[in-house]
Structure 1
Amino acid sequence: MSTFLLSKYGRFQTLRESTGNVQLNLFIYKIKELVVPELSSLFQSKIDALCSLSYEKRIQSKQTYKQAENLLLKELGLENFKPTKEAINIKSFSESFGATGRIDSEYFQPKYEIIEKAIKSYKNGYETFDYFIENYSTGFPYKSNSYIKSNGVPLIRINNIKKGYLQLDNAIEIPRNDLELSVKDIANENDLLISMSGTIGNSCKIPKGIKAVINQRIMRITPKTLIPKFYQW
Structure 2
Amino acid sequence: MDGLECSEILIKNQSFYARIDAEFFSKKNLFLQERLNASGAYPMKKYGALLDCSAFYPSITDYYSHDRSQIPFLRVNEIQNGLINITDETVFLPEEILVANRKTIAIAYPGDIIIAKGGNTLAKVGLVTDEFPCYATCRDVIILRTDNLKNLNKYYLWAFLHSAYGQGILWRSASQTGQPHLTLPSILEIRIPDITNIQNDIETLYLKSVEKKHQAESLYDSAQQQLLNGLQFALPSVSASSIAEKKLSDSFGLSGRLDAEYYQPKYDELFAVLSKQVRRPLGQLVSRMKSIEPGSEYYGDTGIPFIRVSDVSKTGIDNPSIMIPENIEPNIDRLYPKKDTILFSKDGSVGIAFKITEDMKAVTSSALLHLRVNNTSEILPDYLTLVLNSEIVQLQAERDASGAIIQHWKLSDIEKVVIPILPYDMQFEIAKKVQQSFLLREKANDLIQIAVKAVELAIEDSEEIASKWLEENTRLLEG
Fold-level match, TM-score > 0.5? yes
Are residues 127 and 209 of structure 1, via their aligned partners in 2, closer, same or farther at CA, if it must alter by over 3 Å? closer
Are residues 143 and 80 of structure 1, via their aligned partners in 2, closer, same or farther at CA, if it must alter by over 3 Å? closer
Cα distance in structure 1, aligned partners of 2:239 and 2:381: 31
For the 8 Å contact 1:14–1:26, the answer to whether it is kept is: no
For the 8 Å contact 1:13–1:34, the answer to whether it is kept is: yes
For the 8 Å contact 1:179–1:213, the answer to whether it is kept is: no
Are residues 214 and 98 of structure 1, via their aligned partners in 2, closer, same or farther at CA, if it must alter by over 3 Å? same
Are residues 164 and 112 of structure 1, via their aligned partners in 2, closer, same or farther at CA, if it must alter by over 3 Å? farther
1:121 lines up with 2:272 in the alignment: no
Which residue among 95, 107, 111 is the counterpart of 2:266? 111
> Which AA in structure 1 matches 2:346?
M
2:371 is paired with a residue of what secondary structure? strand
Which residue among 278, 295, 313 is the counterpart of 1:162? 313
Are residues 179 and 4 of structure 1, via their aligned partners in 2, closer, same or farther at CA, if it must alter by over 3 Å? farther
Cα distance in structure 1, aligned partners of 2:163 and 2:257: 46
1:149 is displaced (CA, Å) by 2.1
Partner residue, 1:230: 383
Which residue among 6, 10, 16 is the counterpart of 2:166? 10
Cα distance in structure 2, aligned partners of 1:78 and 1:22: 49
> Which AA in structure 2 matches 1:154?
P
For the 8 Å contact 2:333–2:361, the answer to whether it is kept is: no
Are residues 221 and 142 of structure 1, via their aligned partners in 2, closer, same or farther at CA, if it must alter by over 3 Å? same
Are residues 219 and 209 of structure 1, via their aligned partners in 2, closer, same or farther at CA, if it must alter by over 3 Å? closer
For this pair of structures, how many residues does the alignment match?
226
2:358 is paired with a residue of what secondary structure? coil
Partner residue, 1:66: 221
Cα distance in structure 1, aligned partners of 2:239 and 2:165: 49
Partner residue, 2:248: 93
Partner residue, 1:26: 183
1:186 is displaced (CA, Å) by 2.6
Cα distance in structure 2, aligned partners of 1:55 and 1:97: 50
1:67 is paired with a residue of what secondary structure? helix
Partner residue, 1:76: 231
For the 8 Å contact 1:137–1:184, the answer to whether it is kept is: no
Cα distance in structure 2, aligned partners of 1:96 and 1:16: 58
Are residues 105 and 120 of structure 1, via their aligned partners in 2, closer, same or farther at CA, if it must alter by over 3 Å? same
Give ranges in structure 1 of 5+ residues lacking alignment.
Answer: none
Partner residue, 2:304: 153
> Which AA in structure 2 matches 1:103?
L
Cα distance in structure 2, aligned partners of 1:25 and 1:159: 22
1:48 is paired with a residue of what secondary structure? helix
Percent identity at matched positions? Answer: 25
Are residues 192 and 37 of structure 1, via their aligned partners in 2, closer, same or farther at CA, if it must alter by over 3 Å? same
Cα distance in structure 2, aligned partners of 1:104 and 1:220: 30
Deviation string 1:44-89 (CA, Å, 9 cap, x unpaired) is: 3332232122111111111111001111111122247545434111
Give ranges in structure 2 of 5+ residues lacking alignment.
Answer: 1-156, 390-479
Are residues 89 and 181 of structure 1, via their aligned partners in 2, closer, same or farther at CA, if it must alter by over 3 Å? farther
Partner residue, 2:290: 138
1:129 is displaced (CA, Å) by 0.9
TM-score norm. by structure 1 comes to 0.83
Are residues 40 and 228 of structure 1, via their aligned partners in 2, closer, same or farther at CA, if it must alter by over 3 Å? same
1:217 is displaced (CA, Å) by 1.7
1:182 is displaced (CA, Å) by 5.7
Cα distance in structure 1, aligned partners of 2:237 and 2:166: 44
2:250 is paired with a residue of what secondary structure? coil
Partner residue, 2:57: none
Q: How does 1:32-43 map to 2 (within 5 A)?
A: 32-41=188-197, 43=198
Cα distance in structure 1, aligned partners of 2:169 and 2:364: 30
1:219 is displaced (CA, Å) by 1.4
For the 8 Å contact 2:337–2:359, the answer to whether it is kept is: no
Are residues 101 and 58 of structure 1, via their aligned partners in 2, closer, same or farther at CA, if it must alter by over 3 Å? same
1:121 is displaced (CA, Å) by 0.9
1:98 is displaced (CA, Å) by 1.8
Partner residue, 2:330: 180
> Which AA in structure 1 matches 2:357?
P
Deviation string 1:71-118 (CA, Å, 9 cap, x unpaired) is: 111112224754543411111222112212222111111112212221
1:94 is paired with a residue of what secondary structure? helix
TM-score norm. by structure 2 comes to 0.43
Are residues 81 and 98 of structure 1, via their aligned partners in 2, closer, same or farther at CA, if it must alter by over 3 Å? closer
Are residues 77 and 91 of structure 1, via their aligned partners in 2, closer, same or farther at CA, if it must alter by over 3 Å? same
1:198 lines up with 2:348 in the alignment: yes
Partner residue, 2:257: 102
Are residues 188 and 209 of structure 1, via their aligned partners in 2, closer, same or farther at CA, if it must alter by over 3 Å? closer
Are residues 202 and 70 of structure 1, via their aligned partners in 2, closer, same or farther at CA, if it must alter by over 3 Å? same
